[in-house]
Amino acid sequence: MLYKEYRIPLPLDVDDFKRGQLYAVSELCRKETGGGEGAEFVTQREFTSSSLIPGQTVTGTYYHKIYRLKSKAPWILQKMLPEEAFEIHEESWSAYPYCKTVLTNPKYMKENFRQVIESTHLPDNGSAENPLNGPKKREIITLDICDDTLIGKSAYKEDRDPKSFRSEKAEVGPLEDEWIEEHEPIMCAYKLVSIHFKWKGLTSLVEKTVLKQYTRIFGMFHREAYASIDTWYDMTFEEVQEYELETAKILRKQLAEPEKRGTKCDDK
């Protein structure tokens, strides 16, 4: 099993980003869904757990989503694997600032594929030693949302570039070269990703390929969440939840439409 820890600093307060990340997830799903591919919201309900975080009882929201992702997978995997291999089930328990997400492929890989993403959000610039209690042998990758190479040329938008974008509502930006060391407020999204993929001859290739994609996925997501701040900054938490419910209905319609939307794995 491979582990990587991603650290994504943001020029925001931890409490504000609770709304921002929920809004950004819904918005990203809308942009990436269409033509039978993308996201389907299956279940969304409140939960209470005494086992999610050892020694704590937490409450939050449980989500079950299905992602159909063939056109977004590396071309070599599209050629090698059947349709069922690209239907990923996501279960997540959001007890912000902590969240746990489990990805499985029950129709094809069954118990031979399992991916876990643990996240926490702290008021620092990425300097915490090991906030998710990850193994010592893990690669730590810090992502700068100002780095254009994270998203690729085809996804670049000048009005979403943190180096030039300014939020009027939050009064933040543009971000300068040393912003991670100097900006106030500052927070960091920590994400520990592990993957188990068991298939003779393909294990190493698939594990490394999947983990490589998260540099772009996390970079693009958090960059977009920050750049859309003037949309969600004044929304209450209840309004963001309503936006999630509205998104679930919209996605069902988009899945039935012929046009595919969003990025592909080989976009540059």
Burial class (CB in 10 A: 0-12, 13-18, 19+), 6: buried
What residue spans define the domains of the chain?
A: 2-255
pLDDT tens column, 195-243: 888 877 666 766 777 777 899 899 999 999 999 999 999 999 999 999 9
* pLDDT of res. 202: 64
Say how far residue 131 (Cα) sits from the centre of its chain.
18
Question: Cα separation of 231 and 228, whole Å?
Answer: 6
* pLDDT of res. 164: 95
SS3 179: helix
> Whole-model pTM above 0.75?
yes
What fold does the segment set 2-255 form as a domain?
Alpha-D-Glucose-1,6-Bisphosphate; Chain A, domain 4 (3.30.530)
Contact assessment for residue 113 and residue 104, using Cβ atoms and an 8 Å cutoff = yes
